[in-house]
Amino acid sequence: MNDTPIRIRVRYSKVGNLRFVGHLDTQRLFERALRRANLPLRYTQGFNKRIRLNLASALPLGFTSSAEVLDFWLDEALDSREIFQKLQEALPAEIRIIDLNPVSNSLPSLQASVLSSDYRIWLPRNLRPEDFQQKLDQLLQAPEILVSRRNKSVDYKPLIFESDLQTDSDSKLVWNLRLSSTPEGNARPDDILNLLEINPAVCLIERVGLNFITEVE
Amino acid sequence: MPNNISLIEKILYSVEKPGRYVGGEHNQIVKDWDSVDLRWCLIFPDIYDLGQANLGLAILYQILNAEESVLAERSFAPWVDMEIELRRHQLPLFSLESKQSLRDFDILGFTLPYESIYTNVLNILDLAGIKVRSEERAENDPLVLGGGQACYNPEPMAEFFDAFVIGEGEEVVLEISQVYKDGKKTGKNKSELLLNLAKIPGVYIPSLYDVSYNPDGTIAMFWPKHLDAPEKITKRIVAVLPPHPTKFLVPNVEIIHDRMSVEIMRGCTRGCRFCHAGMVNRPVRQRSVDDIIPVIEDALDSTGFDEVGLLSLSSSDHTQILDLTRQVHEHFHDCSLAFSLPSLRIESFSLDLMDELKDLKPGGGFTLAPEAATERMRAVINKPLEDEEFYQTITRIFENGWRSIKLYYMIGLPTETMVDVEAILQAAIKIKQVGRQVIGKGVKIHLGVATLIPKPHTPFQWLPVERPEQIQEKLDYLKVGARKAGIKISYNLPDSTLLEAWLSRGDRKLGSVIQTAWENGAKFDAWGERENLQIWRNAFSAHQLDPDFYAYRERDLTETLPWDHINIGVTRRFLQRDYEWSLMGRTRPDCRNVCFSCGILDVFGDQRPAEAIGYWGCP
């Protein structure tokens, strides 16, 4: 056994029914898939040994994603293509690995380096673009954007980094949002939809990017 | 990107834990709907979280899907929030795999492991747009089939099911499939189909039977209305346990018993007189160590689980158990796996077993079920154990490093007096002292106290449930004493065991009561037992029935019991003699060594395989 563990970074997408599988469940899903993949996994030390595994940022329940990132550790170096293939085979069809690479152990933890998330929201068809744009402008120009979370009021104003409304080829309204995703300020796009009186359940929301302090290798 | 957000997905956004309803687990089997001749939906009528780990479901799922021309999907009871959404959007309840409406399946196979989910069965049928009463269903509605441990008394649910499987399902589900497919091909109508199903051993078609009652409410006569319907329905068994499933579905959301289960042995020869499972699951059949180890290996490879439950009714009675635990240790000790070995007997041998397993991953507390605290009482229930051996075991448990012991006891046992109840508390206090002496500091003792519900097909089947005032008095005594002694105690209130008593011991008249209770809002009765109890009482009075008739009445030894037409292989004569021995305090030793002619060999002896092929516990 190599004393220095090999840190593997995986970018993956999560779609379909798996968007109804929450953060902790996704973590367990990966633990089991990694075991099925029969890789030389590094376990945590101590009484209750667990697979060493870190997910970058919790994806809210109900969202798809094409930009999730996680790290896990191996006891010995293997060819990345081999790991990719074994892990992909062990994963459900609705999780696809985008790429997988060894990264330096000296990089900070994923959770500590996430800055923001990019979301793409397909808005319902019955929405008139000009009405929505007007409501959106009104909201974004307000001095405060208050969202109540567990009886606590959070100001989203400083957490919304970018907002861009477009029409796709299918003449559907597509709204791109960059929101803060740090432990100090974590904004959810469904909260903003609720403020705009749009039921998030009738939208399709996908995380299309995770942005880190240092660029992901 | 998909543009159509279907109605189901929209609904899922607004319910708690939507992952319960979407399927998609690793090892799920999805077949092309149109490529098969027969479609089963296997339904566990409780929420996914409670049902998905059920081993019976996993076994039947694999067996049915192994047939090329058959598909089997799954469905569970939706939780209350999901039900509201389904009803609001008029969406029929669907299967997890293909999201097909339950109404579109050929056979709905409900498993009924316990009675408190009876109302959920009605609710599920209703949510699927299917009439709850068998007689009201249309020709093209699915066949509604029941099976499982509670079906050894099918009568309370007789009016809702077209057919029941009595006993083990591994073989009979394929025979049912064949009869159904043949009937479909030859254009048979439902009543012809039912008659053909009635010819399959172990299949009970309740509509082919009639019952009449005496003025006092007891059964006068129960008889088949048709020549093809057997007078008694003999349960099915598999002579040799079939290959164990290994491709378990791996849930994506957290569930209860989130691990894989491997059945190492079926049945039990001990003959504890209160134990339904011990009577109805005879004979004892076990898997050999050589069979079990590869099953665990394959299942771990195909699931990635990190916890394995080795299931049986009495682990320490497996003839190769020490070898099994050693080999488990040998094969898996560096895989960071947790193993559990439930139902250990209180004897030093059990500790040798625990020692083997402890190395794999230290577990929590040690669980023991003496069930009664005096030697006399233990003789009455036929779970004999001398105090001396009991305390020796306890001492060794502490010496081996455990600091927490959970103890299960029962109250409301026949011939029980306050002396027996006081002994429970005294035992707990003494165990605590022993622990302190051995370990040198405090230990955790947890008392679990259950009330006896005399179950059908057991030697206690004629007994009443003890009256709530007396149960309450005994519980109060134990509660106060345990609190004083710093012992944790958990128990069921007398009220909350009533429903189980009514439904497990009931007759066909209870069908109307169940339906009325459900119509008035009873469901998930195990969760809201106390809240639902008034609904149930009202339902009894709506049908001029007395609930006490079912719970608190001692039944005459000559009475026709509602489950007498179900033959579990153990004779009524045997049960009666055992009951009489019980009252005399006479025990009946483990019948592996000496046969007491319970009847099982008379019924199934000709199926018995050679020892080399399949072990049976009978001598």
Q: Residue B393 in contact with residue B436, Cβ under 8 Å?
A: no
pLDDT at A134: 94
Whole-number Å distance between alpha carbons of B222 and B144: 23
- Rounded to an integer, what distance in angstroms lies between the CA atom of residue B318 and that of residue B289? 10
Quick: pLDDT tens for A87-128: 999 999 999 999 999 999 999 999 999 999 999 999 998 888
Decide if A35 touches B, using CB distance below 8 A.
yes
Side-chain-side CA neighbours of B463 within 13 Å: the count stands at 26
Q: At what angle do helices B387-399 and B418-439 cross, to 10 degrees?
A: 30
Chain B hits for A21, Cβ within 8 Å: 19, 252-253
Across the interface, of B12, B24, B301, the residue whose CB is closest to A36 is B301
Indicate the pLDDT class of residue A215, thresholds 50, 70 and 90.
low
Distance CA A16, CA A65 (A): 10
Q: Give residue B2's pLDDT.
A: 28
Instruction: Give the pLDDT confidence score for residue B346 in this predicted structure.
Output: 83
CA atoms within 13 A on the CB side of B379: 13
- Listed residues A83, A107, A131: the one ending a domain: A107
Residue B90, Ramachandran bin (φ over 0: left; ψ between -120 and 50: alpha; else beta): left
Interchain CB contacts (distance < 8 Å): A and B = 76
Query: What distance in Å separates the CA atoms of residue B470 and residue B414, rounded to the nearest whole number?
Result: 13
In a domain, A164, yes or no: yes
Same domain, A50 and A96: yes
Q: Which CATH number goes with the domain that contains A154?
A: 3.30.70
Chain B from 339 to 398: CB within 8 A of any A CB: 361-362
- In chain B, which residues have pLDDT < 70? 1-5, 357-364, 529-530
What sign does the dihedral B200-B204-B208-B209 (CA atoms) show? positive
CA B562/CA B155 separation, integer angstroms: 7
The continuous run of DSSP H or E covering B88 comes out as helix B80-88
Contact B395, B372 (CB under 8 A): no
Q: Is A134 on the interface with B (CB under 8 A)?
A: no
Q: Which domain holds residue A10?
A: 6-107
- Chain B residue at shortest CA distance from A35: B304
DSSP β-ladder status, A204-212 and A146-149 = unpaired
A217 within a domain of the structure (yes/no): no
Same domain, A32 and A71: yes
Phi/psi for B122 (5° steps) reads -65, -40
- Is A71 part of any domain? yes
Interface residue of A14, A26, A31, A35 to substitute, partner B, most B CBs within 10 Å: A35
Per the CB < 8 Å rule, is B253 touching A122? no
The sign of the dihedral angle between the CA atoms of B467, B473, B474, B478 is positive
What is the Rg, in whole angstroms, of the alpha carbon atoms belonging to chain A? 19
DSSP-derived secondary structure letter, B95: -
d(CA A102, CA B190): 63
* Residue B18 sits at the chain A interface (C-beta within 8 Å): yes
Is A28 part of the contact surface with chain B (CB cutoff 8 Å)? yes
Distance from CA of A77 to the nearest CA of B (A): 19
Test A47 with B362 for CB contact under 8 angstroms: yes
A43 and A134 share one domain: no
Residue B480 sits at the vertex; the CA angle it makes with B474 and B485, to the nearest 5 degrees, is: 120
Per-residue pLDDT of A173-198, as tens digits, reads 999 999 999 988 999 999 999 999 99
**Other beta carbons within 10 Å of A149:** 11
Cβ count near B612 (within 10 Å): 7
What tokens appear for B453 in the block?
A: 């519900």
Distance from CA of A23 to the nearest CA of B (A): 10
3-state secondary structure at position B287: coil
Q: What is the pLDDT of residue B4?
A: 36
Q: Is the pLDDT of residue A6 over 60?
A: yes
Contacts of residue B90, defined as CB under 8 A and 6 or more positions apart, other chains included, come to none
A80 and A158 both lie in a single domain: no
ipTM for the whole complex? 0.90
From B191, B194, B190, select the one nearest B203 (Cα to Cα). B194
Distance, in Å, from the CA atom of B267 to the CA atom of B315, rounded to the nearest integer, reads 11
A135 within domain boundaries: yes
Structural domains of chain B sorted by starting position, each given as residue range(s) with its CATH number in brackets: 7-234 (3.40.50.280), 259-362+589-619 (3.30.750.210), 364-509+545-568 (3.30.750.200)
Asked if B253 is an interface residue toward chain A (Cβ–Cβ < 8 A), one would say yes
Same domain for A148 and A55:
no
Max CA pair span of chain A? 62
pLDDT tens per residue, range A131-162? 999 999 999 999 999 998 878 899 999 999 99
Q: Does A135 share its domain with A78?
A: no
In A, which residues are within 8 Å of B26 by CB distance? Answer: 32-33, 36, 90, 92
Q: What pLDDT, on the 0 to 100 scale, is given for residue B196? A: 96
Q: Is B119 helix (H, G, I), strand (E, B) or coil?
A: helix
DSSP state letter for B436: H
List helix spans (H) across B245-374. 276-280, 289-303, 321-332, 348-358
For residue B609, the model assigns a pLDDT of 95
- Can you read off the two tokens belonging to residue B370? 């003496």
3-class DSSP state of B497: helix
- What is residue B12's predicted lDDT score, i.e. its pLDDT? 92
Decide if B216 touches A, using CB distance below 8 A.
Answer: no
Shortest distance, CA A214 to any CA of chain B (angstroms): 30
- Strands (DSSP E) contained in B77-214 are 107-111, 143-147, 163-165, 203-204, 209-213
